[in-house]
Amino acid sequence: MKLGRRAFLQFAAGAVGGTLLSPIPWQLMDDSAIWSQNWWWRPSPERGEITQAATTCMFCDGGCGIQARLVNKSRAILLQGNPQNPINAGGICPLGAAGLQFFYAPYRVAQPMKQTKKRGDIGGLQYISWDEAFTMLSTKLAQLKSEGKARTVAGITGQRRSSMDDLWQQFFAGYGSPNFFRMPSQADSLELAAKVTLGQEVPFAFALESASYVLSFGANLIEGWGAPGRMQAAYGLWRRENGEKPATKVVQVDSRCSMSASKADQWVAVAPGTEAVLALAIAQILVKENLYDADFVKSHVSGFDDWNDAQGKSRVGFETHIMSPEYAPEEVAKRTGVEASKIRELAKEFAGSKNAVVVWGESSGNLPGNIYHDLCYVALNALKGNLKSGGTVTLAPTVPFEPLPGLQMDAAAKRNLEEQRLDLQQSPRARLNGNGLYAFLDAASKGTPYPVNVLMVHEANPAYSLPENKLFQTALEKVGFLVSFSSYMDETAQQADLIMPNQMALERYDDAIGVPGVPYAYYAVASPILKPMPGTKHTGDVILALGKSLAGKLAAALPWTDYQAYLKKRVEGLAASNKGAIADRAGMELWKLQPGDLVQTNYKDGADLWKKLTSGQCWYGAPVSAAQKIETTSGKLELALSSLSFEDLPDAGDKVYLPHFAQLSPSGDPKEYPLLLVSYRTMSLADEYLPNPPFMTKTVWDFVLKGKELFVELNPQTARSLGMGEGSRAMLKTPQGELPVRVHLFPGAHADAVYIVEGLGHTAYDQYIQDKGVNANSIVEVQLDPVTGLGTVWATRAQLRRA
């Protein structure tokens, strides 16, 4: 039989009919739809048992309790605040919430690396084994030590409130180098202010939760000042009214209408950098109108009346000094731009409020302040009697650990070692020795009196985050060997000769010793909630291993097998003190604790305390009254700096001994640079060791960062006079350098200033972080405080011209 065209069509028609009645077309249609939903790149969440693991957040030193949501106990999918923690009470900041991105980040350093080409050449960084990396470093350190050059080894850490800091100190002391520094912090100058006034080198703490009136001089209260988690919780309390207690009144003195200013009850706009003189004007009114706490001043303050110095010379006291016409409201009004009547009103309000407190934070709240200005604010608190027992200002309590095993070094040897510290070798020598990182960098860049052969950088990224970061770069040119312990390929790691990657914050044992600004004693342990990346190692373990390899004194000073054992031993020591208790339930209002309150211990022994701390609970103790802890020679709070000598400044008068307005003059010609560049921080941008995780960058306004362009804030009037409008492209030039920016018109900006955000302009990491905006640190100017030698930043002269 021959099949023709007709038969073929008939067969085909039948086949089509049959196919339509079979599952083929329908099944294929359905399956191809499903197939199209399953491209290989589509993320597929892991399924399994969901558990929670509680720990302490280590993304900053705010000490928040956090919880991670885990799938199959191994994959973290969410970080949130731990409601049981008294600091943040369940709250979390954007950095913590986005923090998991650091764990999964592609820019993590997966294994040790060494530079095989020129320093800074990323292509030259090659993976090496841990054995090789360790041998490289330990051989170098052993050699320098045997040559008597131990002091040429230096270190910088960004983790000042953890046992890591103590371990580093122990290592450096045992090794024989005094050159160990921390990244700058407001605590640097607060500690020194407490040292000269109270004889105690610990920072101040503020009972903000119980305050009824908060007078903030530039402290960016809800944008990262102190501990962000605690400040969020405190803000919640301020805004809550109850029967006896009205909502707390918050007054923000600031040159810019920051978030803190806009959320305050009142924003007092001042000229940039003049907050301290306003404080002095308020002090004058308090003294003049007898509105200060005369009882407290009489019983607890020295230097208020005229006083005699060590040579018996009579000096002017604060009472006389503050009456200077310089601090009269009318005079201060001219300087600050705040009307005299307003200053009087503020003074009366402050004096009339029962629990008023003064807080402050120049240098965008995270850097040391001008010591004289710190003292102005301390004086204002003292006049109000805030430092007495039960007052709003206390001293940060210490956690009663057992001392670390002693180093066999006598006092003379210790002092000798101290005196060799590079920052102190710099001239002119500071009168108060603090964390002189800038002076150290200066000495390192000169290579005198001795060079820095090895610099170890831990949990810090000074090449990016240090204000005037080129100072680090310049110093680096003379540094023989840079070791980075960073978990991430950051700007500093890129410059390193050797990278020994630390485990990231969620993978390691760590701890938080106290919380910035919080009055009660606090201790929390961070335990690993995720398996560490195989090629990383806890820096603590590296230090301990170095100690063993270098033997001698160091081995005795660092006897622990590993970092976990070291922490455990510390916790056992804390338990042995039999002080403090575990916060074991949600809603504990620890801020209600008063100095001297008895805290009933609720842990059995060291093992029990360790178990509780590693399960995410925290230890707390009672606050410490400032007035009861005064250890000055006079036994009183010293408003006059009687312990310091200014004999070398015979013409300076008595003012140098007293809190006064001592604004440092920025460099550059005001004609060439008519504006003042002021940097600010926001909660949407991380500006220290950690970069901005991409999730967080999503929360940045498009008038701060649009595409790759950063916007500076400019008052509309100023912009008009410069011929600029919203979005204008401009070059921002300071004596330190220039950067391309765009202009955002902001009526909350002071007319004399231009404001730049911190935290942008990274050059390292990955495509989602780098090249977004510009780095403010590269054009700001750091000025060394003449008394403390600490690097301070308040403003930099700047010009803005159309690009």
Partner 1 sequence: MKEENKSASGKGVMGGIIFFAGFILALIIGWVVFPNLLYSQKPQPMNFNHVAHQDSSCEDCHAFRADGTYAGIPKVEKCKECHESPMGSTEDERKLVEEYIQKDTEIPWRIYSWQPDNVYFSHAPHKAKKVECKECHGIMGSEKTLPAYKDNRITGYSKETMKMIVCEECHAERGVNNECELCHK
Q: Find residue 692's DSSP bridge partners.
A: none
Among 2, 5, 41, 45, binds partner 1 (CB under 8 A): 45
- Cα separation, 496 vs 498, whole angstroms: 5
Smaller CB distance to partner 1: residue 11 or 701? Answer: 11
**Which residue in the set 2, 10, 543, 627 belongs to the binding site for partner 1 (CB under 8 A)?**
10
Say how far residue 496 (Cα) sits from the centre of its chain: 23
Q: Which of residues 46-75 bind partner 1 (CB under 8 A)?
A: 49-50
- Whole-number Cα distances in Å, 332 to 81, 230, 341, 575, 685: 44, 34, 11, 53, 34
The answer to whether 294 contacts partner 1 (rule: CB under 8 A) is no
Q: Give residue 11's identity as a one-letter amino acid code.
A: F
How far is the CA of 4 from the CAs of 1, 8, 48, in angstroms?
9, 6, 62
Distance of CA 403 to the CA centre of its chain: 26
Which is closer to partner 1, CB of 53 or CB of 259? Answer: 53
The window from 12-20, 418-426, 512-520, 746-754 that contacts partner 1 (CB under 8 A) reads: 12-20
Handedness of CA 208, 209, 215, 216 (dihedral sign): positive
- Exposed/middle/buried for residue 622 (C-beta within 10 Å: 0-12, 13-18, 19+): buried
Q: Is residue 13 part of the contact set for partner 1 (CB under 8 A)?
A: yes
Q: Supply the minimum distance, in Å, between the C-beta of residue 44 and partner 1.
A: 5
Minimum Å gap between C-beta 12 and partner 1 is 6
8 Å CB contact between 208 and 234: yes
Helix, strand, coil percent values for the chain (each to nearest 5): 35, 20, 45
* Shortest distance (Å) from residue 86 CB to partner 1: 26
Stretch touching partner 1 by CB under 8 A, among 13-21, 140-148, 320-328, 788-796: 13-21
Return the DSSP state at 256: S
> Which span sits near partner 1 by CB under 8 A: 5-13, 246-254, 377-385, 597-605?
5-13
Rounded CA-CA distance 377/393 in Å is: 11
682 vs 699: CA distance, rounded Å: 11
Least distance in angstroms from the C-beta of 582 to partner 1: 24
Rounded to an integer, what distance in angstroms lies between the CA atom of residue 84 and that of residue 82?
5
The least CB distance from residue 587 to partner 1, in Å, is 23
Binding range to partner 1, per CB under 8 A, among 6-14, 330-338, 603-611, 740-748: 6-14
Q: In the 8-state DSSP scheme, what is residue 488?
A: B
Using alpha carbons, select from 203, 207, 159 the residue that is nearest to residue 60.
159
Q: Which of residues 498-557 bind partner 1 (CB under 8 A)?
A: none
Closer Cβ to partner 1, 38 or 146, answer by number: 38
Nearer to partner 1, 72 or 721 (CB): 72
Smallest distance from partner 1 to CB 67, Å? 14
Judged by CB, which is closer to partner 1: 45, or 723?
45
Cβ proximity of 760 and 712 under 8 Å: no
Give min distance, CB of 38 to partner 1, in A: 6
The answer for residues whose C-beta is within 8 angstroms of residue 104's C-beta and 6 or more apart is none
Three-state SS at 416: helix
Please enumerate in sequence order all residues whose Cβ is within 8 A of that of 758, keeping only pairs 6 or more positions apart, or say none: 364, 679, 680, 681, 685, 687, 776, 777
* H or E stretch covering 321: helix 318-321
The secondary structure of 571-601 as a DSSP string is HHHHHHTT--EEE-STT--GGG--TTPPPPP
The single residue among 2, 3, 151, 738 that binds partner 1, judged by CB under 8 A, is 3
Q: For partner 1, which is the closer residue by CB, 18 or 740? A: 18
Q: Which of the residues 181 through 200 are near partner 1 (CB under 8 A)?
A: none
**Closer residue to partner 1 (CB): 27 or 416:** 27
Cβ proximity to partner 1, 29 vs 411, nearer residue: 29
Question: Binder to partner 1 among 5, 44, 244, 665 (CB under 8 A)?
Answer: 44
Give the residue with the Cβ less far from partner 1, 30 or 477.
Answer: 30
Contacts of partner 1 in 444-473 (CB under 8 A): none
Surface-to-core class of residue 578, CB atoms within 10 Å of its CB (0-12 exposed, 13-18 middle, 19+ buried): exposed
Buried b or exposed e, range 763-776, using 16+ CB within 10 angstroms: ebbeebbeebbbbb
Q: How far is the CB of 84 from partner 1 (least distance, A)?
A: 18
Nearest distance from C-beta of residue 39 to partner 1, angstroms: 11
Find the shortest distance in angstroms from Cβ 70 to partner 1: 13
- Sign, Cα dihedral of 95, 97, 103, 105: negative
SS3 56: strand
Residue with tokens 């056992």: 572
2, 5, 6, 354: residue in contact with partner 1 (rule CB under 8 A): 6
CA distances from 271 to 381, 742, 756 (A): 23, 23, 16
- State the minimum distance, in angstroms, from the CB of residue 796 to partner 1: 51
Q: Nearest Cα to 20, choosing from 29, 10, 31, 32?
A: 29
Q: Which is nearer to partner 1, 51 or 308 (CB)?
A: 51
Tell me how far apart the alpha carbons of residues 469 and 491 are, in angstroms, rounded to a whole number: 11
- Comparison of 72 and 129: residue with beta carbon closer to partner 1: 72
Shortest Å distance, C-beta 30 to partner 1? 8
CB of 14 to partner 1, least distance (A): 3
Q: How far is the CB of 356 from partner 1 (least distance, A)?
A: 48
CB 76 to partner 1: min, Å: 17
Rounded (10°) CA dihedral 237, 389, 365, 698: -20
Residue 793 has, within 13 A of its CA and on its CB side, a CA count of: 26
Q: How far apart are CA 514 and CA 508, in angstroms?
A: 19
* Between 39 and 600, CB nearer to partner 1: 39
Structure tokens given for 459: 């949990």
Phi, psi for residue 203 in degrees, rounded to 5? -70, 160
Classify 298 as helix, strand or coil.
Answer: helix
CB nearer partner 1, residue 51 or residue 561: 51
Measure the N-to-C terminal CA separation of the chain; round to a whole number of Å.
88
> In the bound complex, what is the minimum distance in angstroms from residue 375's beta carbon to partner 1?
55
Nearer to partner 1, 3 or 598 (CB): 3
Residues 324-383 that bind partner 1 (CB under 8 A): none
Write the binding mask 14 to 43 for partner 1: x where contact by CB under 8 A, - elsewhere.
xxxxxx-xxxx--xx-xxx-xx-xx---x-
Instruction: Choose between 82 and 453: whose C-beta lies nearer to partner 1.
Output: 82
User: Per CB under 8 A, which of residues 306..325 are in contact with partner 1?
Assistant: none
| Residue among 27 and 308 whose Cβ is closer to partner 1 | 27
**Residue 548 in tokens:** 């063993």
User: Helix (H, G, I), strand (E, B), or coil: what is residue 673?
Assistant: coil
> Applying CB under 8 A, what is the total number of residues that bind partner 1?
31
Nearer to partner 1, 30 or 339 (CB): 30
Taking the least distance from each CB to partner 1, the nearer of 72 and 416 is 72
Least distance (Å) between residue 75 CB and partner 1: 14
Query: x/- string (CB under 8 A) for partner 1, residues 738-777?
Result: ----------------------------------------
CB of residue 21 to partner 1, shortest distance in Å: 6
Residues that bind partner 1 (CB under 8 A): 3, 6-7, 10-19, 21-24, 27-28, 30-32, 34-35, 37-38, 42, 44-45, 49-50
